[in-house]
Every structure is written in structure tokens, then in C-alpha cells.
Chain A
Amino acid sequence: MSAKPATAPAPSAPASARRIGRLEVRGLTKRFANVVALSNFDLDVQSGEFISLLGPSGCGKSTALNCLAGLVEPDAGRILLDGEDLARVPPERRGFGVVFQSYALFPHMTVARNVAFGLEMMGVRSEVVAERMRQALALVHLEDLGDRYPAQLSGGQQQRVALARALVIEPRLLLMDEPLSNLDAKLRLEMRLEIRRLHQRLGLTTFYVTHDQEEALSLSDRIGLMKDGVLRQVGTPEQVYLHPETAFVANFFGYRNVFRVRVGAVTDGRAAVTAPGGLRLAGTARGGVHEGAEAVAAVRPEDVEVGPPGGADRGIPAAVEFAEFVGDAFECSVTADAGVVFVVRTPSRWTQGARVILRVDPSRLLVFPPE
């Protein structure tokens, strides 16, 4: 939780990057009608750190970002940037850069006017505006498109304009709300690298909201996982990927096989569990798992081994329901005789209806207390 930011500002970073941007969020709470969108949200973000908020839609991550941007007024809580509480400061006086999911470019202004807008609002002298606008456009490789209107640009180019417009004001904090979700897969990858490159170059404290775990893993210094308005786990990509603390986090990071179990004996962190249909499995107990209690077991598709029946050691007898070719492997839906359905990932193609034996390494089957 107290992981150091992996990325320090690059030595070649411009002067703006050396401005501090240490964010402390305390007890941020927001209720819409009867729904708690954000509940007691606490987060510390180091200067220059790239932090992602990850979660399914409706988990409160966008509300958190809108509260930080000042576009939604929190019911309670403090937003401290370098020690100054901004929770009641209107967005126009926060000086944060915001990149919206829909880009929200000014459709009636050229690319150049869009980028210059923030500087003009700050009252920057017009020669300086022109210069900084050019630099910002160069930063996102749009030097030649300054005279175009947003409607004349592709989605990726619009995204770059939105980035340049947010970066040109040299914000202490950069907020990005699902910025890649409107792009196609190829462009998304390209813009992801672009965002990564800009962050390394400028070292801006960045708060990034996404529902895409791959984006979060690849971009972030740290990831915060949210569900139902509550921050469930914060850690480095490696921490949350390899050591999920709850079944929800595990499920989000590829533990696609999740089932309710009853816990048998727990010894040395090893738990014997019984899944529905009487299927017995051995797994690794996470904190809070007790003998005789209800629990949730989770395992990744690639950690379930599929073999032909009749091996020496005992496994889970099962039948293949269907197999999908996913490029580098096959994903099969396999039904254990006890009734539980596993999604497994195997290098070999299994025909439909084939009898197989499943084996699960106990160190790869995680047992969590129920949520």
C-alpha cells in the first residue's frame, strides 16, 4: 500500500514537472438520492505518481474523479493538494488538467484555439500562448493540424487534442476519465503507449479512471480497485495482480473461476474446501478464512491443468463442453462431474464431450472470506 512510485520524473522533464503535486484525499463521500456513490474515500498520491482507479461501471470511480475535478461537490471529505484543501474550490480555480471520455473538445474552435483556451483563461500573454500552444501540439504530434476543427479529426487525433489542451496549462494534477474507451483496439494500444511516454517525460501526478484492467496494469504506478463506492485494495500492479486481497479483486484480475465453498481444515495457510456438489479442493487461505465457515475460492483459467483421464494421481473428473480458439491457446468450458463449471486455458484442442481430468495447484487456488 505504501509502494514507492516506480516512475521518477525524467531528468529531461521541463520546469513544470518539478512543481509538486502531492494529493491526499480524506474521507470523500458522495450520495446521489439514495445511492452512495462514494463512501469514505481515502487515497494518497505521491508527486509524479500515476495512479489508476479501476472497477466495474457504477463503482464510483468516475464520481471520485469528478469530485477531484470539482465537477461534483462531495457531501463530505477533503481534497488536499500540497496541503491546500480544494474540496470547496470551484473547478475553474483548481488548475487541474482534465481529459474526458468523450474528449469534450470545443467543436466551434480550431485545434489551436482549443489548446490555447486554457492559457487565454489564465491571462497568459498572446506571444507566450502561441509558443506554448505550438509546444503542446508538438508534444502530441499534431503540429500540422492546428487549423482543423475537431469534427475533421479522427478519434485518436481528437484524443491527442484533448491531451494537449489539458497538458498545456501545466496542471499540478492530471485527471483522465476512461480516455481510451472510445478508441478501437489498435489505436487504444497506441494511445496507451503515448500516455505512458508523456507521463515519463512530464512526470505529472496523474489520476486515471478505467474499467480496463490491462490499461491499469500497464500504465500505473499503483492501482486502486473500487466496488460499490468503496476502495477495496490499493497496490502496485504486481501486488494487485499476484496477491489480490479479496475475491472481487481476484475476479477483476483474471480469476475467472469463482465459487462459493465451505471451508474444512485450515493448516499452515492451506485450506481444504468443499465446492457445491461435494467437490473437494485444496487451496491457499487468505486472511479471515476459518474452518467451518463460508468462503469464496478463485482460480485463473491458466492455472487449471487439463489432462486425459486415467492418470496416476487423482484429479477432478470432468467433460469438455466447448472449446474456443483465442489465438495463443484454447479456452474451454469444462463441467466437473460434481456440477461445477470451470473455464480453463490449455495449449491443446479438446473436442466437445471429451472426458478429462482437471488438476488445480493448491498454491494457485485462493480462498477468500465471503464479501
Chain B
Amino acid sequence: MQRAAGARAGPGALPTARHGGVRWGPLVPIVPALLVVLVLFVYPFAYGLALSVHPIGSLAKGGMLANYAAFFGTPWERASIWNTLRLAVPVSALDLAMALPLAYRLRRPLPGQRVITALLVIPMTLGTVLLAEGMIEFFGPAGWANKVLLALHLVRMPVQFVHNYTGVFISLAIADFPAVFLVLLGYASGLDPRVEQAARTLGAGRWARLRRVTLPLLAPGIAAAAALSFVATFSVFPSAVLVGEPAGSTRVIALAAWQAAYEQFDYPRASAIAMVMAAIELVFVALVLAVRNRAYRGPTIGGRG
């Protein structure tokens, strides 16, 4: 220990020595990453926050919180929160519900597992715009989806899948799935199969094993995936415009901020909306983590501590 500290304490005398019992040496390698975070995240955030409390134009006389008051006081603006929530929450829930059983099944090597995993992850590589173009064709009035439904006499008129809430919902669900699946797959492959086998030998049937062993052990992964998915879907923007109804039901909060900034050129108001957006995401993540912290934290391997 002494030698190592001495060897590093060159002319620059990096703070490897003890200062009040804390060793700063090990923190040195993370300085570059810390700088990136500071420059790319913290500074813009602080700048936006500062901007948002300096209203301009007609709101300039309303005080520091005029931008926020305007946002929450205007039903049309306020509705963008609800428009986004009613996309982000059900899409995240659906993707979690779909990804969880799949990740659990694919946690061990199976025949064709790599192909299946690759297929499930492909949507990630498409990009929202390509996905939207495909959807407009496929789900359009003359697209395959409607052709099949009409041919099977399930509907009499073409169903409108795009340029409304449904379009954005489908697009988000597809684009968001791979990330949720990959996060859960990582956690599921960390499960020790012996632990579930032990539960079986102790008389636990399928349902009891799921409820008492598998789900509690996957809880951290479910929480991580839920937080990730919510943040990603809550900041939806391109698909809300391309396959949604941006002037109505899918006028999401990111779109509201964009319009304030680039249609009305009111940066401070746009910043305020972005702050509201960030706050909602933060609250949701905090909520998820709070729930998750009530559950078990620790290794998912039973034994050989």
C-alpha cells in the first residue's frame, strides 16, 4: 500500500494520500468520464433551468415561474403530459410483459437461440424513421394488415392504424422492445438454475416457483428495464409526428417543447417544458427504484459466498 502510493506520488502529487480517511486515488481514472457528464449533461441542464426562469415576450412580466404557469395553465399544453403518459406507460408495460417470458425462456442455450435473439433485437437497428415508413405502408388503408383483415372478413372497412394514437403505440412498442428484452435477458441469464431446481425439490410447483423465487430474483432487472423503457418512450418525438396525430391525440410533451422552441422561437418556454419533462421522468425513475429497493438486493446465485 505504502509503496504503491509513493510510486504514484510524482511531482504532480496526485491526491493519492489519505485526506480525512478518503482515498481519492482510485477516482482519478473516472475524471474524463466525469468531465463528459459535466459538459454534456449537467451544464445543458443547468443552462436550461436558468433559461426557463427568465421568461421573455408577453410572459416576461409574469415572474420567474411564468413559463411554468403558462404551461400548466393552458389546457392544450398541459394535455401533452397526459398524451405522453398514455403512450409511455402502456407501451412500457406491454414490452415488459412480452420481454419477460421471452428473456426467461432464452436465458439458457437453446437450439436456434442466437437466431431468435438476433431477430428480436433487429428493430433496434432500424431507426424510427425507417420503421415509420414501413408502418405507413404496411398498416395503411391499402397495406397488408388491412388486406388480410378484409380478406378474412374480420373488418368491413379498412382500419386506421396510422396517423393516430395506435400508430405511435405500435411504433413505440416495436422500437422500445429490444432494449427491454436485452436488459431482462442479461438478468435472466444470471439466474442460477439450481436455485429453481432446489425450489422444485422442496415442493414448489410452476406458479410457486415463479412467484417466490424467479420474479423476486428478477425484480432488479424488471425495475431497470421499466425505468429505461419509460424514459425512452416518454421522450418520444419522431414517431409521434410521422405515424401519429401531432396536432391532436399524439401531441406529446417533446413535441410541445419543440414547437415552443422552433415555431415560436421561445427558448425559455421550451426549456421550461423540457424541465417538466425531465422532472416527470425523474419522479418515475425514483418511484421504480424505491419500489425495487424494498425488494431483495444482492447476488442471484445461491451459495458459494
Indicate if the CB atoms of A92 and B204 lie closer than 8 Å: yes
What's the nearest-Cβ distance from chain B to residue A283, in Å?
Answer: 45
Indicate if the CB atoms of A71 and B303 lie closer than 8 Å: no
Indicate if the CB atoms of B203 and A118 lie closer than 8 Å: yes
C-alpha gap A165/B301 in the complex (Å): 17
Indicate if the CB atoms of A121 and B301 lie closer than 8 Å: no
Indicate if the CB atoms of A92 and B200 lie closer than 8 Å: yes
Indicate if the CB atoms of B201 and A97 lie closer than 8 Å: yes
Does A149 belong to the interface (CB within 8 Å)? yes
Does B299 belong to the interface (CB within 8 Å)? yes
In the complex, which residues of chain A have a beta carbon less than 8 angstroms from the beta carbon of B296? 107-108
Assuming the contacts A107-B195, A108-B216, A108-B298, asked whether A102 and B201 have C-beta atoms less than 8 A apart, the reply is no
Indicate if the CB atoms of B302 and A104 lie closer than 8 Å: yes
Q: Which residue of B lies closest to A115 (CB)?
A: B202
Does B304 belong to the interface (CB within 8 Å)? yes
- Bitwise, A160-189 to B at CB < 8 A (1) or not (0) is 001001100100000000000010000000
Indicate if the CB atoms of B299 and A151 lie closer than 8 Å: yes
- Bitwise, B188-200 to A at CB < 8 A (1) or not (0) is 0000101101111
Does B35 belong to the interface (CB within 8 Å)? no
In the complex, which residues of chain B have a beta carbon less than 8 angstroms from the beta carbon of A224? none
C-alpha gap A341/B302 in the complex (Å): 46
Indicate if the CB atoms of B203 and A71 lie closer than 8 Å: no
B202 is contacted by which of A151, A154, A169 (Cβ under 8 Å)? Answer: A169
Does A94 belong to the interface (CB within 8 Å)? yes
In the complex, which residues of chain A have a beta carbon less than 8 angstroms from the beta carbon of B166? none
B residues apposed to A, CB below 8 Å: 192, 194-195, 197-205, 208, 212-213, 216-217, 295-296, 298-305
Does A153 belong to the interface (CB within 8 Å)? yes
Q: How many interface residues does A have (CB within 8 Å)?
A: 37
In the complex, which residues of chain B have a beta carbon less than 8 angstroms from the beta carbon of A152? 305
Indicate if the CB atoms of A155 and B305 lie closer than 8 Å: yes
C-alpha gap A305/B207 in the complex (Å): 65
In the complex, which residues of chain A have a beta carbon less than 8 angstroms from the beta carbon of B298? 107-108, 149, 151
Q: Which residue of A lies closest to B217 (CB)?
A: A108
Does A292 belong to the interface (CB within 8 Å)? no
C-alpha gap A97/B305 in the complex (Å): 22
In the complex, which residues of chain A have a beta carbon less than 8 angstroms from the beta carbon of B304? 102-103, 155, 158, 182
C-alpha gap A98/B208 in the complex (Å): 18
What are 30 A-B contacts with C-beta separation under 8 Å? Answer: A69-B201, A70-B201, A71-B201, A90-B200, A92-B201, A92-B204, A98-B197, A98-B201, A100-B303, A104-B192, A104-B194, A105-B198, A105-B303, A106-B195, A106-B212, A106-B213, A107-B300, A108-B295, A117-B199, A118-B203, A121-B203, A121-B204, A121-B208, A150-B302, A150-B303, A150-B305, A154-B305, A155-B304, A162-B303, A182-B303
The 3 closest A-B pairs by CB, nearest first: A103-B303, A108-B296, A121-B203
Indicate if the CB atoms of B305 and A100 lie closer than 8 Å: no
In the complex, which residues of chain B have a beta carbon less than 8 angstroms from the beta carbon of A107? 195, 217, 296, 298-302
